[in-house]
DNA sequence: CGATCAAATTTGAACGATCAAACTGTGGGT
DNA sequence: ACCCACAGTTTGATCGTTCAAATTTGATCG
């Protein structure tokens, strides 16, 4: 529709050569200030914008990050990932990087998607999330040399300190530590915990924060730990049963879903004001007036982009500088 | 890292020319079956995958759709958009299209983002959502000839039947019609409506479905209509006040947020079983056991892709076939 | 004034694919 | 035997940019 403006058009207009125009845009320090201005003026005048396919073909880099959009899990927790992706997009834009989405249903599916994207030169790096024990993905990525950063610590076999494995994560233990401390100070000594069955890295991490805080002060009998697979309904049922048996002062939860279920159970039993702290700070707990631990996905995204781009702001297929291979974001407790 | 396999490598291996390999992949019908097989074998053997930058440079199309990831609005309704984007990505992948994200905070911001993406040859089309009265975006897109499809009817000035403006939407009135009918049949004649202030296209549409169904049967006095800006907390407060004054049998809401607020208010007043129907079918209402109207974002996404790709499966800068310029998806009532 | 060297700019080639046109070979009709 | 039509294949040019090397410009110095 619109006539294409090429670098040659700009060059002609400014009375210089192709390469000089290119230099003005990519390496301004090598051109004389006066020519730079003349070229920039021509760029503005013609509304020139480089054709990125041509640039990518020549430079052999796409300046694009692949992000998997997880299948809709049906849980409240999806909101965190959405905020993360959004923040990632904004942050990437500031670095002149693009974000390309892809869909995959299984790890194997995701790997074959990477294979296409990588060989087609569509992405320079990918962001992965939800790594688990025995995850085949990290091995593939390391083996093929596709740079990546994972949202979530590598709980699996490979070394958590491996400088080739970049990761960012939220310090779950610090979050529940803050939540538990606050509950102890404002509600009473009997602060219970509602989490998931042992075995999930994230869940264990969050439980640890509670245990470390509660441990020194009270015996475990008065501060029970409950676990449920997931889901508001299940949590509501379990907490309803347990509240009838145990007397507690407050409850710290591993997720907002659990917190909502617990709140409903408490309300059922005529205790709508039982202090309950969630994790993720989703709109629902905000509306219910529950406290929650805010993950700060924006900071996580910023850290991810910082890790994956080298000092020059470009994505490099390199092992990161030792000691700078990961970032652990301390979440913030929102008190309501 | 990995050595690049080009079309020439495949050609040499199969003992044919570049172009024949290209034809095997892009126009198999012009190649003899025996050569096709030989070439395919070489492709498999070498693990060839076309360099998409080169292809895009030559063909002058990116086979990419731009999607704006809205700033996290903090509402439950975001879930629908997320499911839509996810479905869009899956569907696009099946058509060998890619989905590129971009972030923008204002319409003007979004326009300048399009300008870059379009001139850089990064996208062939964009998907927009949330069009409003006096929206400057559609005009820009039509003027610049960037193909697009909007999720949401054009409520603004331009003709809703304009074949150049492709759109997909959910038939909100049909949704509330189903919800109201169900409530009338199972609960009683006094079915109230909780929506937003008049003026938002979506809200008015959903209200219309209720009004059309309720109208013929009952006087408006016994079936009040309430409105609140948005938000669980506000809805809870308003419904709490109104329920004390009006006796109703059921409540149809314009969104799940409103439904949750209403449910909490009803529970506060000792009526936790007041039938309430939401809109969006988010996990929260599922957990609360409320009925809701399911938007079927997957169908909406499929329709969007179908509209934006011509009969050949390619994105064309053309006015759509008259009569096929939009799709209205009928949502489904989930009864709980 | 010519030599020297760095800074600034230009030129030719290349990235990997597809398009358009030219070229083969094969079979049929007269 | 000739020409023609046509399916199947190859050749040369091209998309718009950046890299690498070559070239020009300009200042400095003996």
Spatial distance between the Cα atoms of B243 and B250, rounded to a whole number of angstroms:
11
CB A67 within 8 A of CB A117: no
Q: Is B326 helix (H, G, I), strand (E, B) or coil?
A: strand
Q: What residue spans of A95-165 are helical by DSSP H? A: 107-119, 136-144
Segment B299-308 shows an average pLDDT of 94
Report DSSP letters for B146-214, one per residue.
--EEEES---SSS-TT-TTSEEEEE-HHHHHHHHHHHHHHHT-S-EEEEE--TT-HHHHHHHHHHHHHH
Instruction: Report pLDDT for B222.
Output: 73
Name which of A1, A52, A72 is nearest B120 (Cβ-Cβ).
A52
B51 part of a folded domain: no
The boundaries of the domain holding residue B8 are 1-41
Same-domain pairing of B230 and B271: yes
Q: Is the pLDDT of residue A73 over 60?
A: no
- In whole angstroms, what separates CA A123 from the centre of its chain? 18
Q: What interhelical angle do B7-14 and B18-26 show, nearest 10?
A: 100
Which run of H or of E encompasses B239? helix B232-245
How confident is the prediction for chain B on average, in pLDDT? 89
Poorest-pLDDT segment among A134-138, A186-190, B30-34: A134-138
Give chain A's radius of gyration (CA, Å): 25
CB A297 within 8 A of CB A84: yes
Instruction: Report pLDDT for B75.
Output: 45
Identify the band that residue B200 occupies on the pLDDT scale cut at 50, 70 and 90: confident
CB B307 within 8 A of CB B168: yes
Q: What residue spans of A125-255 are helical by DSSP H? A: 136-144, 172-186, 201-214, 232-245
B287 part of a folded domain: yes
Is B82 in CB contact (< 8 Å) with chain A? yes
Spatial distance between the Cα atoms of B22 and B262, rounded to a whole number of angstroms:
61
Of the candidates A303, A245, A265, the one whose C-alpha atom is nearest the C-alpha of residue A91 is A303
Segment B248-262 shows an average pLDDT of 95
Identify the band that residue B81 occupies on the pLDDT scale cut at 50, 70 and 90: confident
Q: Are strands B291-294 and B276-279 parallel, antiparallel or unpaired?
A: parallel
Is A319 in CB contact (< 8 Å) with chain B? no
Q: What is the CATH number of the domain that holds B99?
A: 3.40.50.2300
Same-domain pairing of B304 and B287: no
Please give, rounded to a whole number of angstroms, the shortest distance from the CA of A208 to a CA of chain B.
28
Proportion of chain A above pLDDT 70, given as a percent:
90
Is A231 in CB contact (< 8 Å) with chain B? yes
Spatial distance between the Cα atoms of A176 and A331, rounded to a whole number of angstroms:
9
Buried b (16+ CB within 10 A) or exposed e, A300-323: bbbbbbbbbbeeeeebeeeebeee
Spatial distance between the Cα atoms of B252 and B250, rounded to a whole number of angstroms:
7
Same-domain pairing of A150 and A183: no
Q: Is the pLDDT of residue A75 over 90?
A: no
Spatial distance between the Cα atoms of A293 and A316, rounded to a whole number of angstroms:
34
Is B240 in CB contact (< 8 Å) with chain A? no
A71 part of a folded domain: yes
Same-domain pairing of A209 and A238: yes
Same-domain pairing of A217 and A136: no
Instruction: Domain count for chain B, please give it.
Output: 3
Q: Is the pLDDT of residue A77 over 50?
A: no
Identify the band that residue A45 occupies on the pLDDT scale cut at 50, 70 and 90: very high
* pLDDT digit string, tens, across residues B128-153: 988 877 789 998 999 999 999 999 88
Nearest nucleotide over every DNA/RNA strand to the A22 CA, judged by C1'? D18
Q: Is the pLDDT of residue B122 over 60?
A: yes
Q: Please give the structure tokens belonging to residue B327.
A: 């799709």
Q: What residue spans of chain A are helical by DSSP H? A: 7-14, 18-26, 33-46, 52-59, 78-94, 107-119, 136-144, 172-186, 201-214, 232-245, 256-268, 283-288, 297-308
**Partner-chain contact A82 B78, CB within 8 Å:** yes
Q: What is the pTM of this model?
A: 0.89
Burial class of residue B162, CB neighbours in 10 A (0-12, 13-18, 19+): middle
Name which of B56, B76, B103 is nearest A283 (Cβ-Cβ).
B76
CB B101 within 8 A of CB B135: no
**Partner-chain contact A52 B121, CB within 8 Å:** yes
**Partner-chain contact B57 A62, CB within 8 Å:** no
Identify the band that residue B164 occupies on the pLDDT scale cut at 50, 70 and 90: confident
Instruction: Report pLDDT for A76.
Output: 44
Same-domain pairing of B263 and B315: no
CB B65 within 8 A of CB B90: no
* pLDDT digit string, tens, across residues A264-292: 999 989 899 999 999 999 878 888 899 99
Same-domain pairing of B283 and B306: no
* pLDDT digit string, tens, across residues A81-91: 778 888 999 99
Instruction: Report pLDDT for A197.
Output: 95
Segment A149-166 shows an average pLDDT of 76
Within 8 A of B57 by CB-CB distance, chain A residues are: 51, 53-54, 57
Identify the band that residue B217 occupies on the pLDDT scale cut at 50, 70 and 90: low
A51 part of a folded domain: no
Cβ of residue A52 lies below 7 Å from strand C: no
Is B98 in CB contact (< 8 Å) with chain A? yes
Instruction: Report pLDDT for A201.
Output: 85
Q: How many CB atoms lie within 10 A of CB B158?
A: 15
Spatial distance between the Cα atoms of B48 and A77, rounded to a whole number of angstroms:
39
Instruction: Report pLDDT for A314.
Output: 77
B55 part of a folded domain: no
Backbone angles phi, psi at B299, to 5 degrees: -70, -35
Q: How far is the CA of A1 from the C1' of D19 (A)?
A: 32
* Spatial CB neighbours of A251, under 8 Å, sequence gap ≥ 6: A183, A191, A192, A193, A194, A239, A259, A262, A274, A275, A276, A277
CA separation (Å) from A327 to A82, A151, A163, A176, A321?
Answer: 20, 10, 12, 19, 13
Proportion of chain B above pLDDT 90, given as a percent:
66
Same-domain pairing of A290 and A176: yes
Spatial distance between the Cα atoms of A153 and A225, rounded to a whole number of angstroms:
24
**Partner-chain contact B69 A54, CB within 8 Å:** no
Q: Which of A104, A287, A302 to mutate to test binding with chain B, by most B CBs within 10 Å of its CB?
A: A287
Residue nearest C9, CA–C1′ metric: A20
More confident residue, B161 or A200: A200
Within 8 A of A115 by CB-CB distance, chain B residues are: 49
Buried b (16+ CB within 10 A) or exposed e, B283-322: bbbbbbebbbbbbbbbbbbbbbbbbbbeeeeebeeeebee
Of the candidates B59, B12, B27, B88, the one whose C-alpha atom is nearest the C-alpha of residue B306 is B88
**Residue position matching structure tokens 């960037």:** B146
Is A134 in CB contact (< 8 Å) with chain B? no
Q: Is the pLDDT of residue B43 over 70?
A: yes
Q: Is A137 helix (H, G, I), strand (E, B) or coil?
A: helix
Q: Please give the structure tokens belonging to residue B316.
A: 């064309």
Nearest nucleotide over every DNA/RNA strand to the B27 CA, judged by C1'? C18
Instruction: Report pLDDT for B76.
Output: 43
Identify the band that residue B74 occupies on the pLDDT scale cut at 50, 70 and 90: very low
B34 part of a folded domain: yes
More confident residue, A71 or B271: B271
Nucleotides of C under 7 A from a protein CB: 7-12, 14-21
The answer to whether the Cα torsion of A164, A167, A171, A172 is positive or negative is negative
Q: Report angle CA B9, B14, B20 to the nearest 5 degrees.
A: 85
| Dihedral class, residue A270 (left if φ above 0, else alpha if ψ from -120 to 50, else beta) | left
Same-domain pairing of A306 and A284: no
More confident residue, A105 or B36: B36
Instruction: Report pLDDT for A70.
Output: 72
* Spatial CB neighbours of A235, under 8 Å, sequence gap ≥ 6: A194, A228, A253, A257, A258, A260, A261, A262, A265
CB A173 within 8 A of CB A204: no
Poorest-pLDDT segment among B43-47, B177-181, B318-322: B318-322
B209 part of a folded domain: yes
How confident is the prediction for chain A on average, in pLDDT? 88
Burial class of residue A162, CB neighbours in 10 A (0-12, 13-18, 19+): middle
Query: Would you mind telling me the total number of residues written for chain B in this entry?
Result: 336
Same-domain pairing of A164 and A304: yes
Beta bridge partners of A315: A309
* pLDDT digit string, tens, across residues A10-22: 999 999 999 999 9
Spatial distance between the Cα atoms of A319 and A299, rounded to a whole number of angstroms:
23
Nearest nucleotide over every DNA/RNA strand to the A9 CA, judged by C1'? D16
Same-domain pairing of B150 and B72: yes
Q: What is the CATH number of the domain that holds A27?
A: 1.10.260.40
Identify the band that residue A301 occupies on the pLDDT scale cut at 50, 70 and 90: very high
| Dihedral class, residue B274 (left if φ above 0, else alpha if ψ from -120 to 50, else beta) | beta
Spatial distance between the Cα atoms of A251 and A276, rounded to a whole number of angstroms:
5
Residue nearest D13, CA–C1′ metric: B58
* Spatial CB neighbours of A27, under 8 Å, sequence gap ≥ 6: none
A48 part of a folded domain: no
Same-domain pairing of B166 and B176: no
């Amino acid at each position: 529709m619109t006539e294409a403006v090429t670098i040659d058009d700009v060059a002609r207009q400014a009375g210089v050569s192709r390469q000089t125009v290119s230099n003005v845009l990519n390496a301004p320090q090598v051109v004389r200030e006066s020519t730079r201005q003349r070229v920039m003026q021509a760029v503005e005048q013609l509304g020139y914008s480089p054709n990125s396919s041509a640039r990518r073909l020549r430079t052999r880099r796409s300046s694009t990050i692949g992000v998997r959009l997880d299948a809709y899990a049906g849980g409240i927790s999806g909101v965190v990932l959405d905020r993360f992706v959004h923040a990632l997009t904004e942050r990437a834009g500031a670095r002149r990087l693009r974000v390309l989405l892809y869909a995959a249903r299984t790890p194997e599916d995701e790997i074959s998607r990477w294979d296409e994207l990588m060989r087609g030169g569509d992405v320079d790096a990918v962001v992965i999330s939800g790594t688990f024990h025995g995850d085949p993905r990290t091995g593939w990525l390391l083996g093929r040399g596709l740079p990546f950063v994972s949202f979530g610590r590598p709980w699996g076999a490979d070394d958590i300190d491996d400088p080739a494995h970049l990761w960012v994560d939220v310090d779950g233990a610090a979050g529940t530590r803050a939540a538990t401390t606050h509950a102890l100070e404002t509600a009473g000594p009997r602060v219970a915990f509602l989490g998931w069955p042992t075995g999930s890295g994230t869940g264990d991490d969050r439980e640890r924060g509670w245990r470390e805080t509660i441990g020194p002060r009270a015996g475990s009998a008065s501060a029970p730990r409950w676990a449920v697979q997931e889901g508001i309904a299940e949590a509501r049922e379990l907490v309803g049963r347990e509240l009838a048996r145990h007397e507690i002062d407050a409850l710290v939860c591993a997720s907002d879903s659990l917190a909502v279920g617990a709140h409903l159970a408490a309300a059922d039993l005529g205790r709508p004001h039982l202090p309950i702290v969630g994790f993720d700070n989703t709109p629902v707990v905000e509306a219910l007036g529950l406290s929650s631990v805010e993950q700060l996905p924006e900071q996580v995204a910023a850290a991810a982009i910082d890790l994956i781009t080298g000092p020059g702001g470009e994505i490099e297929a390199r092992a990161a500088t030792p000691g700078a291979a990961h970032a652990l974001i301390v979440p913030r407790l929102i008190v309501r």
